[in-house]
């Protein structure tokens, strides 16, 4: 395979996925915040809560539609750009995507129309039900997508079938109950809730600073503070490190994040700061806190966190076994009944993917020299400095959000909406949760390299056989369209925020703000 | 009769479900595509355009899921078809996606600002988002009927040897125009049923009726291409409906007129193209006379007939290869494993009726004609 094609395909996937993931987490979180706000409206019957719901609903709509539009690209990109991945893994990977459409996306997309157009057609409770269905649908969507992604990280319940030259499912329950996506799901949707909470917090803080629509802003900020505090605790405490002990690649990801070049005696310390050096395979100027990593990663005091060097030795053995499996598959292609090859495949088949790692540098892995196998084994180490720094930035932001929302919660409980330093901080925090979320994606997906499917299919083999001209065309095309849409979207959101809650939907007479006198929460 | 749910039966069911998804897409999203295509022609002032847009305003999102679900279901049940078609039609697929990306944004953003330039821009986006995908889908189906220039190597990696411009031949362009005509009839009938009496509804009836005649003519002409051209494939050798899903184990040959073989063996199949023609005729009559239900039903039956005609004419082929017939994908060699097909069937049997149920409920809740009075007063409308 032309490595340029693979790189361009990866670049396009990364750009389109990262871009899609700007909108999706806000949809995930804001949908549930709308449910909370509208529930308060239904319970209290106070029109201000209807105004609150409808204002954030407008922001939700502007954002939602770009999530939908860019999701189209994602659904088909496996076929257009990763066609070998699609034939190799479609038997398992396709099912969660299809079920996502059937069970989640239909729900979300059908009820979202009712949510926007049904204010005067449904009863209060009926409309709340529509909003709730949208929230359930979007969150179920995330679950199925992460089940698909989790299988790429930890491909359980499946095995290679030499007759069809692809992975086939052996146990669907294992794919569904895979622990990696479970950890990921809670972490990812919580991240979405944090993003939505920061958006509501920041815009409300802006209104309070400007002294505009303060009644709505205070109520919104109270919801954001409570929801954000719960979510930011959840996103950190239920981070997906718990899944990192499971497989060789997940262990490698963890070792790279920690720049753990060698296995340490348990419980391992965490390197808070340092400069990972790829040449010498050491971390310079490391500042270490004892015990913490072992506790986080293994949830125990006595289990080890395996280092990269040890994992590479393991990979080397698996590549050797993978070469034998590759040989067996080649024999079985020509002679499906060959007994010796069948036995060899039964023995070494699970390492076939490791044998395929050698395809990056040669056509026939059976000709690999021990030196080439050693090199290929070191290829299983992802980009250590990238992993190391992405994680620290993401985790640092995670702790910052806990502090931000704890402060917000405290101030809201004390009805102190006049702390201008905090309001300014809340406005400035607006872009931060997106940075954290995108870094999370980088950790998860760059950390999986060199694999498209861990231990099964190297990324270099997964791409479609396209030409560079085709890839540049779509890469430039998507960049232009997405860039233009981003500018338009931000423009519309700024306009909506500037015009405030009574602009587009002025069917209600403006509710006078309660002004300086403190309003009871949720009233 | 014994109806065991064995591998061959599952493959057959999933082939039918593939058709159901395509037809579901054509029947629901067809309204949105058709109205997008008709937008510049039937609606001239801003109020008129908003009326046409709001006919599908609350429902286009749900309708579009048929397209996304189609992608997911083909991936899950027919992974080879997913891989070969979307990578083969690479640039065409990009054009479709680019156009379809503009559509949701057009619906949602158009009325967010009052400027006429802003709105005219999004009207273009909605037109492109309706016309271009309809055209390209038809062109793609035409190419599938002709056979695609792809081959598989022994690892089952796909190599596509065609070009983007190579997709456009007289026959495939005819298929593309037929596809546009189908959605225009469909959109026209829906506009007639959902709009108050007035100029927009009047124009929709006129353009829809014209498109109905056009689709009869194009469908008949397309049939002549298929019957008298050099298109068609045939399985040579034995078929093993239970065999492993490895396309290379099938032997197929190209044979002019091969797409008619199924009609010779099953004369009842002639009812499908007949349905395509008669349905369009009924839609024409309904649009002309202002009979709403017959127009909607006729348009739906016509789409169903035309799509089923293509599928059944090619059976058991799904994607024939014109440069290496040996690589052709069929119902019997390109599916997922038996286990996956079964599990997906269970998921479909559980969820699809549920989807249809709540979709019907939502449509009922949103029932009623879009009026110019509502456009002037209802702040929820686009």
pLDDT at residue A508 tops 60: no
Considering only residues A11 and A521, tell me which one the structure prediction assigns the higher pLDDT: A11
**Tell me, what's the pLDDT at A241?**
63
With bands split at pLDDT 50, 70 and 90, how would you rate the model's confidence at A236? confident
Phi, psi (rounded to 5 degrees) for A167: -80, 140
Range in A11-25, A229-243, B203-217, B301-315 with the lowest mean pLDDT: A229-243
The mean pLDDT value of chain B amounts to 95
Categorise residue A155: left if φ over 0, alpha if ψ from -120 to 50, beta otherwise.
beta
- Counting Cα atoms < 13 Å in the Cβ hemisphere of B84 gives 29
Average pLDDT value for residue range A406-435:
96
ipTM over 0.85: yes
Q: Which of B18, B66, B91, B108 would best serve as a mutation to test chain A binding (most A beta carbons within 10 A)?
A: B108
Residue A318 CA to residue A458 CA, distance in Å, equals 14
Which of A473, A496, A506 is the closest to B379 by Cβ? A506
Residue A293 CA to residue A271 CA, distance in Å, equals 8
Instruction: Answer yes or no: are the C-beta atoms of B236 and B330 closer than 8 Å.
Output: no
Cβ-based contacts under 8 A for chains A and B: 253
Which pLDDT tens digit goes with each residue over B58-93?
999 999 999 999 999 999 999 999 999 999 999 999
A283 sits in which H/E element: strand A282-289
pLDDT at residue A82 tops 60: yes
Which pLDDT tens digit goes with each residue over B167-202?
999 999 999 999 999 999 999 999 999 999 999 999
pLDDT at residue A289 tops 80: no
With bands split at pLDDT 50, 70 and 90, how would you rate the model's confidence at A243? low
The domain spans of chain B are: 25-377
With bands split at pLDDT 50, 70 and 90, how would you rate the model's confidence at A282? confident
Residue B77 CA to residue B334 CA, distance in Å, equals 9
Hey, is the C-beta of B250 within 8 angstroms of any chain A C-beta?
Answer: no
pLDDT at residue A228 tops 80: yes
- The pair of structure tokens assigned to A498 is 């500037």
Residues contacting B299, CB < 8 A, separation 6+: B182, B185, B186, B188, B189, B212, B279, B280, B283
Contact A80 B154 (CB under 8 A): no
Categorise residue B369: left if φ over 0, alpha if ψ from -120 to 50, beta otherwise.
beta
**Tell me, what's the pLDDT at A299?**
65
Residue B144 has a CB neighbour count (10 Å cut-off) of 21
Interhelix angle for A47-81 vs B60-77, to 10°? Answer: 30
With bands split at pLDDT 50, 70 and 90, how would you rate the model's confidence at A511? very low
Measured in angstroms, the CA of A217 and the nearest CA of chain B are apart by: 22
Which pLDDT tens digit goes with each residue over A465-505?
999 999 999 999 999 999 999 999 999 999 999 999 986 54
- Which residue is closest to A121 within chain B, CA to CA? B365
Which pLDDT tens digit goes with each residue over B304-319?
999 999 999 999 999 9
Instruction: Answer yes or no: are the C-beta atoms of B297 and B123 closer than 8 Å.
Output: no
Hey, is the C-beta of B20 within 8 angstroms of any chain A C-beta?
Answer: no
Considering only residues B377 and B321, tell me which one the structure prediction assigns the higher pLDDT: B321
Measured in angstroms, the CA of B87 and the nearest CA of chain A are apart by: 4
Average pLDDT value for residue range A78-103:
96
Residue A438 CA to residue A372 CA, distance in Å, equals 35
Which pLDDT tens digit goes with each residue over A45-69?
999 999 999 999 999 999 999 999 9
With bands split at pLDDT 50, 70 and 90, how would you rate the model's confidence at A523? very low
Phi, psi (rounded to 5 degrees) for A349: -55, -30
Residue B186 CA to residue B192 CA, distance in Å, equals 10
User: DSSP letters of B146-174?
Assistant: H-B-EEE-TT--EEE---SGGG--HHHHH
**Where do we find the tokens 């390492």?**
A351
Hey, is the C-beta of B75 within 8 angstroms of any chain A C-beta?
Answer: yes
Average pLDDT value for residue range B215-226:
97
Q: Which residues pair with A167 in a beta bridge?
A: A160
Considering only residues A380 and A273, tell me which one the structure prediction assigns the higher pLDDT: A380
The DSSP call for residue B321 is B
The DSSP call for residue A507 is T
Instruction: Answer yes or no: are the C-beta atoms of B86 and A83 closer than 8 Å.
Output: yes
Residue B333 CA to residue B269 CA, distance in Å, equals 24
- Which residues of chain A have a CB within 8 Å of the CB of B246? 163-165
pLDDT at residue B166 tops 60: yes
Measured in angstroms, the CA of A488 and the nearest CA of chain B are apart by: 9
The DSSP call for residue B381 is -
Share of chain A above pLDDT 70, in %: 92
Average pLDDT value for residue range B226-255:
91
Categorise residue B2: left if φ over 0, alpha if ψ from -120 to 50, beta otherwise.
beta
The domain spans of chain A are: 3-243+386-499
With bands split at pLDDT 50, 70 and 90, how would you rate the model's confidence at A267? confident
Contact A79 B244 (CB under 8 A): no
Instruction: Answer yes or no: are the C-beta atoms of A360 and A379 closer than 8 Å.
Output: yes
- Which residues of chain B have a CB within 8 Å of the CB of A496? 112
**Tell me, what's the pLDDT at A5?**
94
Residue B379 has a CB neighbour count (10 Å cut-off) of 13
Residue B174 CA to residue B168 CA, distance in Å, equals 9
Residue window 280-319, chain B: list those with CB within 8 Å of chain A. none
Average pLDDT value for residue range A431-455:
94
**Tell me, what's the pLDDT at A272?**
77
Residue A437 has a CB neighbour count (10 Å cut-off) of 24
Q: Which of B28, B86, B148, B153 would best serve as a mutation to test chain A binding (most A beta carbons within 10 A)?
A: B86
Residue window 460-499, chain A: list those with CB within 8 Å of chain B. 464-466, 470, 473-474, 477-478, 481, 485, 488, 492, 495-496
**Tell me, what's the pLDDT at A517?**
40
**Tell me, what's the pLDDT at A66?**
95
Average pLDDT value for residue range A114-138:
95
């Amino acid at each position: 395979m032309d490595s340029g094609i693979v790189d361009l395909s990866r670049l396009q996937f990364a750009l389109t996925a990262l871009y899609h993931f700007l909108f999706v987490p806000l949809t995930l979180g804001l949908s549930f915040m709308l449910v909370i706000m509208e529930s308060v409206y239904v319970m209290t019957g106070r029109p201000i809560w209807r105004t609150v719901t409808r204002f954030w609903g407008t922001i939700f709509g502007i954002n939602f539609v770009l999530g939908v539009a860019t999701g189209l690209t994602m659904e088909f990109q496996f076929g257009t750009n990763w066609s070998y991945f699609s034939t190799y893994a479609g038997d398992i990977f396709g099912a969660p995507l299809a079920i996502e459409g059937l069970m989640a996306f239909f729900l979300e997309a059908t009820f979202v129309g009712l949510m926007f157009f049904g204010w005067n057609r449904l009863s209060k409770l009926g409309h709340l039900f529509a909003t709730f269905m949208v929230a359930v649908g979007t969150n179920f969507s995330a679950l199925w997508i992460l089940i698909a992604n989790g299988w790429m990280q930890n491909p359980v319940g499946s095995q290679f079938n030499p007759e069809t030259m692809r992975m086939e499912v052996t146990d669907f329950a294992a794919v569904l109950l895979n622990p990696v996506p479970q950890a990921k799901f809670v972490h990812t949707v919580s991240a979405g809730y944090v993003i939505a909470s920061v958006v509501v917090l920041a815009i409300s803080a802006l209104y309070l600073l400007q002294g505009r629509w303060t009644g709505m802003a205070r109520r919104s900020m109270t919801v954001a503070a409570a929801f954000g505090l719960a979510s930011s605790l959840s996103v950190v405490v239920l981070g997906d490190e718990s899944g990192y002990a499971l497989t060789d690649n997940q262990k490698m990801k963890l070792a790279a994040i920690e720049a753990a070049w060698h296995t340490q005696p348990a419980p391992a310390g965490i390197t808070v700061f340092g400069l990972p050096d790829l040449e010498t395979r050491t971390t310079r100027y490391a500042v270490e806190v004892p015990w913490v990593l072992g506790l986080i990663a293994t949830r125990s005091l006595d289990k080890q966190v395996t280092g990269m060097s040890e994992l590479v030795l393991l990979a080397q053995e698996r590549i050797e076994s993978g070469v034998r499996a590759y040989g067996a598959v080649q024999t079985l292609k020509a002679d499906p009944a060959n007994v010796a090859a069948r036995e060899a495949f039964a023995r070494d088949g699970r390492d076939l993917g490791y044998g395929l790692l050698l395809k990056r540098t040669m056509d026939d892995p059976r000709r690999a020299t021990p030196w080439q196998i050693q090199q290929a084994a070191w290829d299983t180490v992802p980009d250590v400095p990238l992993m190391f720094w992405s994680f620290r930035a993401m985790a640092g932001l995670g702790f910052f959000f806990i502090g931000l929302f704890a402060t917000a919660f405290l101030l809201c409980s004390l009805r102190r909406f006049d702390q201008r330093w905090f309001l300014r901080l809340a406005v400035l925090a607006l872009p931060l949760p997106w940075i954290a979320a995108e870094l999370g994606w980088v950790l998860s997906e760059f950390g999986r390299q060199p694999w498209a499917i861990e231990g099964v299919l190297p990324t270099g083999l997964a791409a479609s056989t396209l030409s560079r001209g085709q890839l540049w065309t779509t890469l430039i095309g998507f960049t232009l369209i997405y860039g233009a849409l981003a500018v338009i979207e931000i423009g519309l959101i700024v306009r909506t925020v500037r015009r405030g809650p009574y602009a587009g939907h002025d069917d209600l007479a403006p509710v006078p703000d309660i002004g300086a006198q403190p309003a009871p929460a949720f009233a | 009769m014994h109806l065991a749910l064995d591998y061959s039966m599952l493959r057959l069911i999933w082939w039918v479900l593939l058709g159901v998804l395509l037809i579901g897409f054509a029947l629901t999203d067809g309204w949105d595509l058709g109205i997008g295509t008709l937008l510049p022609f039937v609606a001239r002032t801003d109020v008129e355009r908003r009326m046409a847009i709001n006919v599908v305003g609350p429902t286009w999102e749900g309708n579009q899921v048929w397209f996304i679900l189609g992608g997911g279901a083909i991936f899950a049940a027919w992974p080879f078809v997913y891989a070969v078609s979307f990578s083969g039609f690479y640039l065409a697929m990009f054009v479709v996606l680019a156009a379809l990306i503009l559509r949701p944004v057009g619906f949602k953003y158009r009325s967010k600002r009052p400027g006429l330039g802003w709105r005219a821009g999004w009207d273009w986006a909605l037109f492109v988002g309706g016309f271009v995908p309809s055209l390209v889908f038809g062109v793609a189906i035409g190419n599938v009927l002709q056979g695609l220039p792809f081959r598989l190597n022994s690892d089952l990696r796909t190599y596509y040897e065609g070009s983007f411009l190579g997709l456009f031949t007289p026959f495939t362009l005819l298929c593309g125009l037929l596809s546009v005509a189908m959605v225009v009839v469909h959109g026209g009938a829906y506009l007639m049923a959902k709009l108050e009496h007035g100029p927009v509804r009047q124009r929709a009836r006129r353009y829809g009726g014209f498109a109905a005649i056009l689709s009869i003519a194009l469908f008949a002409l397309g049939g002549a291409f298929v019957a008298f051209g050099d298109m068609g494939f045939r399985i040579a050798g034995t078929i093993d409906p239970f065999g492993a899903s490895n396309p290379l184990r099938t032997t197929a040959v190209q044979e002019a007129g091969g797409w008619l073989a199924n009609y010779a063996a099953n004369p009842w199949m002639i009812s499908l193209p007949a349905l395509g023609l008669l349905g369009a005729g009924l839609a024409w009559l309904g649009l002309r006379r202002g009979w709403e239900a017959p127009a909607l039903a006729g348009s739906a039956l016509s789409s169903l007939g035309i799509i089923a005609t293509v599928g059944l004419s090619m059976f058991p082929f799904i994607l024939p290869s014109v440069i290496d017939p040996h690589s052709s994908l069929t119902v019997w060699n390109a599916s997922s494993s038996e286990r996956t097909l079964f599990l997906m069937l269970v998921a479909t049997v559980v969820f699809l009726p549920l989807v249809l149920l709540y979709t019907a409920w939502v449509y009922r809740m949103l029932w009623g004609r879009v009026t110019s009075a509502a456009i002037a007063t209802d702040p929820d409308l686009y």
